[in-house]
Structures are given as structure tokens and as C-alpha cells.
Homo-oligomer: A and B are copies of this chain.
Amino acid sequence: MNALYLPLVAGIISTLFAFVMLKRTLGYSPGNDKMQQLSRYIQEGASAFLEEEARKIFLVAVIIAAVLGVIFQSFKYPIALLFGALVSELAGVIGMYAATRANTRVAAGAEKGLSSAFKVAFSSGSVMGLAVAGFSLTGLALLMLIFKDSFLFENITDLSRAFGSISYIDGVMIISSYSLGASMIALFDRVGGGMYTKAADMSADLVGKIEEHIDEDDPRNPATIADNVGDNVGDVAGLGADILESYVASVVSAIVLAIFMKFADHGTMTETQYYGLILLPVLIAGVGVLASLVGVLVVANMKTKDAQKSLSFGNFFTGGLVLVSVAVVIGIAAPDYPFKDSFIIGPGFVSKWRLFFAIASGLVAGIIISKLSEYYTSDQYKPTKKLARDTQSGVAINITGGLALGMGSTIWPVITLALAILGAYWSAGVYGIAIAALGMLSFVGYIVSVDSYGPVADNAGGIAQMANLDPKVRKLTDRLDSVGNTTAAIGKGFAIGSAAFAALALIVSYIWGAADTANEIVNNPIINLVEPYTLIGILIGSMLPFFFTSLLIKGVSDTANLMIVEIRRQFKENPNIKTGDAVPDYKRCIEITTKGAVSRMLTPGVVAIASPFIIGLLFGRSAVAGLLMGGLASAIMIALFTANSGGAWDNAKKYIETGEFGGKGTPTHEAAVVGDTVGDPLKDTVGPSMDILIKLMSVVSLVFGSIFPAGPFFM
């Protein structure tokens, strides 16, 4: 267990460098007074939202923690849960702090040239990246060290008991609770932030652009600050919490599976094998964090001429570094004695290098899925070009065409995913699947840095516009921003792929965890698909992502409608706003969006947390297994469908704006704008929430699985 000090130190180093990068970011020139003033508005808006949101989330977290404590009669699990939530929240706060202060500095940097602007943007993005990786790993390693006894080989001999018949393994509960805390923050951040950003965006556009004919990011628009705040809360805080959660979930599910292996292997597992398997995930995460740090530092200190090239170089460099270090870790730390066949370790696991193949299949799948979403959504390829061309037949054809494109775009990613799952499974069982997810996510520090850089560049553009800077500044930030869009698309492929792998690993962990006695988990557990409870679980599980989508879209459009009323009111009551002689009431708009998003975030969140709980207590563990699998499948489809439909609508519009099919001002362009607006909440609110919805449901099941009865409660 002393090997845990390695990831602990790696986590602490990453955390320290997050603060170093923050200091560096704050050291750059913040631009003129007007710019600083605008940035301050955004900072205040973002903080106000985060605070309001955090208050609600922690209320829910405390309730769940209390339930956990009461059921299992233990302080350890509630503490782990709150700790996981805190770690995720803190990473979000510091990342957002950096992002909302970097926007004006990027704009100021852009006055000097691309390289300076890029440096500021990437440095500030890396604060979030390094914090996400550092905080979460430090937290996990610390937790395992503090509760060391619960993970010792000799102590995993029998199952603890609560409520008499409820059996569970202490170590599993501790780290699962930690993961649950992180998941809850991620869901609420994604859902709340996603609704905030799109409600602000849609209402600002609908009144500003269409009714008042003023440009995007015009300071006369009362919603413009809210719109810029939205970029931060949705794309920085939401994304950071989301990826942190995936990362934690994949490490935790791999460890949990390794612990269960001790039972599944009929007690033939040696001490070396055991420690090898439970420590490997944390060690891989540890070297991944260090490799990411190196990648971040290299890119942050480059003199760049082409942001795209620098980031791609960073991708390959960091990815390669991770792969090499993972290979080294496997070579040193992984056990390769033969295991008995089981779902967890796969058919005839004989060589440790099979773990490397598992990781490789995950990585390859991630790359292919990314490329596929690029194919479906980029205007370089046939599907989006055809969508743009068909838009000439009007809005209805644009909408049905976009829907067809998105729904059809599920086929190849799903087949890729299925083959990769088989590849990882054949290599090293379900443990291999968990490790593959970890492989995709192990350069999380770098990925989040890149992903957070986009919204910062976007915001910088907003400030440049609002502060009336030289148009070339805006042009430059737009270039940085568009690079961000491309890298974000790649990130999405990895997000969906890793979520599918991590969720599968969690589901299987849940099934082991829900087994009733030690004896039951010695053999592979069986959830019979033919059993009616499994069947209805699958039905209800498949429905939930649809219902969830509906709640999110309604949340966005209801909040946007409130905003529309307010923006119209301000323009009407104070004509000086339109002439630029009066400052609009930005605050009021921010308050409305904040209140709207936070209040509408609760229902979807509670649905996600409560549904496995309710189904489990009513119909037993098979029903929950069905619920999770049905939910996973349905969530993946909706995630792919909404991401690709939305992306294609967006890019078809942009393609037409380059002058194709008549360009701006034509009915074709107008039709394309409608498609883009429809796609916005789909791709930016619904799509990203799907991954975390299903993972949260799986973690809830894993934590509470042991209290679910074997069948329906009344039979």
C-alpha cells in the first residue's frame, strides 16, 4: 500500500503547478479599465451562480450523505462522499477563478499577437486541467491511505454486515462514496451550467440579433454579460467537473473490480496479485498526471504561430508520454500470474501485457469515435455539406435532415464501441474495460487544459467586442476560439467513449456489490435477461434519458423565455440603452438566468439519483441492472445523436455564411439559423449531460446496491 505515496505525490505536484499557472495567469496585463470592468461583471456573475448552485448541491449532498450514514451506520462513507464533492467543487472554483480573470488578459495579449494571447489562454486553461487531475488524485490517494486497513489483503476476507442481512465490503464503500460525491457535483454542474449557458445564449440572440438587429456581444444587450458568464459556468466549470468525475469513476471502478476479484477467484488469488490489481489503476493515474503536467508545461511555454498545430502536437506528445509511462507501470507493477476465468478478469488472463492491449483498444476507439463525429459534423465532409444544400428547400427539410443525420450517425460509433468493448474484454475482462476507460482519461490534465482554453478565448472575444478594441483583436481571438471548437469535438469523442467504458465497469461492479452473500459473489453473478424484473428495468432505463432530455430542453426554453421578457422590458423602458447612453441592467439578467437554471437543475438531478434507488427497493437488484444497462444504451444514443445533429446544424450554418448557397441574408441562411438554434440546447445542454447521467445512476447503484432485495419487496 506504500505505493500509494507515488500517486499522492504526483497529485500534490499537479495541484501545486495549478497554483503556479494561476499565479502566472494573473501576472499578465489585464488590459484597460473598461476591459477590467467587463471582466469584473463576468466574474461576479459567475461567482454568484456558482455560489447559488453550490448551496443547492451541498444541500442534496448532505442529505444523501446522511442517508448513507444512517443505512450503513458509519461516518466513513458520508465523509468520503462529502470529500469527493468538495474536491470536485474546489477544482471548479479555482478553474473558474482563473478563467474569468484570464478573459481580459487574453484580449490584452491579443493586442500584442497570437503567441501572447495563446500563452495566456492556455495557461489559464491549464489551471483547471492541473487542478482537476491533481485534486482528484490527491483526494483518492489520501482517502485510501487514511482508511488503509479497509484495503489490506488480509482484511478482505469476509463481508461486513449492516441491517443484519446487508453485506458489503468496507473498502469498496469508501471509494465508491468518494466517486458518488464527485458524480453529484458533475451532474448538477453539467445540468445547471448547461441550462444557464444556453438560456442566456438563446435569449440574447433571439432579442438582440433578430429583434433589435444588434451584433453578438454588443454591450447594449442586457443579456450579453449573462451570455459570457454562461461560457464559463457551462464550458469551464461544467466540463471540468464532468471529466473529473469520469476520471475518478474509472479509477474507482477498476479498484472495486480488483477487490471483488478476490472473491470471484475462489480464494486462489495471491497477495501480490491482489495488490498488483488494486494499485495499478492509481499508479496509472499517477504517471498520467505527471505526463500531463509535462505536456502542459511544454505547450504553455511554446512560441506558437499556429494554435491548432501546437495543441495537436501537445496531444500527441502527451498521449505518447502517457502510453510509454503506462507501459512502464504495467511492466513493473502489474501481476501476470494466471487467473481463473471470470467476467472480471476475462477469459484466460495469462500475461500482464493483455492490460496494455485493453488500454490500446480504448484509445483506438476514442480516436475513431472522435474522427467519426468530425466526419458527421464538419463542413469538409458529405453529411454536413448535404445538410447545407438541402436547407435550400426550407426550414422543415433542414430540421428533418439534421435529425436524420444525428440519428443515423449513431451506427459507426456504436459498432466501434462494441468492438472496443469486446477487445478490452478479451484482453482482460471487465477489469480491462475499466482500465481502458482510465487509459483514455489518463491525460486528463492535458485534455481539460485544452478544453478550458476554448471558452476563455471565446470570452476574450466578447470582451474585445464590448470594449471596442481594434477588430483585429477580435479576429485573433476568433481564430483561437475556432481552434478550441475543433479540439472540443475531439474531446467529445473521448468523453462519450470513456463514459461508456467507465459506466459498464461501474454497472458490473454494482452487480457484484449487490450480491447478497460472499458465497454468491464467488461465482460470476447472474442477472437473467429473461426475468421480468430485468426486462422492465431495461424499459424504464431506456426511457429515462428521453425524459431527462425533455426536462433539460424545457429548462432551457423556460428560462430563455423569462429572459426574453426581461430583455424586451429593458429595451422598452429605457430607450437610452439602445443608443448606448445608458448601461443596461446586466445584473437583473444574470439573476434571472441563475435562478432559472438553479431551480430547474434540481428535478433532473433528483430523478437521476432517486430512480435506481426507487427501482431497486421496489423490484430488486435485477431490475436495477436492467435499468442501468437500458439507461446506458439509450444515453449513448442520445449523446451521439444530439452532439452530431447539433454540430452539423451549427456548421451547416457557418458553411452557408461563407457564401455557399447564397450566403447570409438569404432564406437558406435564415433556415440554417433556425436549425442552429434548435441544435444549441441539444448539443450543449443535453448531449454532455447524458454521460454523467448514466454514470451517476451507476455509482448510486454501486453504493446502495447492497440494500436492494433480490426480488420485488412484496413477493
**What is A's interface to B at a CB cutoff of 8 Å?**
202, 206, 210, 343, 347, 390, 393-397, 399-401, 403-411, 414-415, 417-418, 421-422, 425, 430, 504, 508, 511, 524-532, 534-536, 538-543, 546-547, 549-551, 553-554, 556-557, 560-561, 564, 622, 625-626, 629-630, 632-634, 636-637, 641, 674, 677-678, 681-682, 715
From B527, B538, B541, B681, contact of A400 by CB (8 A): B681
What are 21 A-B interface contacts by the 8 Å CB criterion? A206-B396, A343-B532, A395-B395, A396-B677, A397-B557, A401-B553, A406-B550, A407-B549, A407-B550, A411-B547, A414-B540, A415-B540, A417-B539, A421-B536, A425-B532, A504-B535, A535-B629, A539-B633, A541-B633, A546-B637, A630-B633
Chain B residues near A504 (CB, 8 Å)? 535
Q: In the complex, are the beta carbons of B401 and A535 less than 8 A apart?
A: no
Chain B residues near A557 (CB, 8 Å)? 390, 397, 400-401, 404
- Measured CB to CB, the closest approach of chain B to A552, in angstroms, equals 8
Closest 4 CB pairs of A and B: A408-B550, A542-B633, A396-B677, A404-B553
- Measured CB to CB, the closest approach of chain B to A551, in angstroms, equals 7
Report the bound CA distance from A632 to B541 in whole Å: 12
Report the bound CA distance from A547 to B536 in whole Å: 24
From B343, B395, B403, contact of A531 by CB (8 A): B343
Q: In the complex, are the beta carbons of B539 and A404 less than 8 A apart?
A: no
Report the bound CA distance from A401 to B558 in whole Å: 10
- A interface SS class: helix
From B202, B532, B534, B547, contact of A410 by CB (8 A): B547
Q: In the complex, are the beta carbons of A547 and B407 less than 8 A apart?
A: yes
Q: A539-B417, A557-B390, A677-B396 are in contact. Are A408 and B528 (CB under 8 A)?
A: no
Chain B residues near A206 (CB, 8 Å)? 393-394, 396
Q: In the complex, are the beta carbons of A530 and B536 less than 8 A apart?
A: no
| Interface-central residue, A403, A530, A551, A625, by most chain B CB under 10 Å | A530
Q: In the complex, are the beta carbons of B546 and A410 less than 8 A apart?
A: yes
Q: In the complex, are the beta carbons of B629 and A543 less than 8 A apart?
A: no
Across the interface, name the chain B residue whose C-beta is closest to A630. Answer: B633
From B406, B411, B525, B530, contact of A525 by CB (8 A): B530
Chain B residues near A542 (CB, 8 Å)? 414, 542, 630, 633-634, 636-637
From B531, B547, B674, B681, contact of A408 by CB (8 A): B547
Report the bound CA distance from A430 to B553 in whole Å: 38
Q: In the complex, are the beta carbons of B529 and A529 less than 8 A apart?
A: yes
- Measured CB to CB, the closest approach of chain B to A342, in angstroms, equals 10
- Measured CB to CB, the closest approach of chain B to A294, in angstroms, equals 36
- Measured CB to CB, the closest approach of chain B to A451, in angstroms, equals 26
Across the interface, name the chain B residue whose C-beta is closest to A511. Answer: B530
Q: In the complex, are the beta carbons of A399 and B674 less than 8 A apart?
A: yes
Chain B residues near A403 (CB, 8 Å)? 550, 553, 678
Chain B residues near A347 (CB, 8 Å)? 715
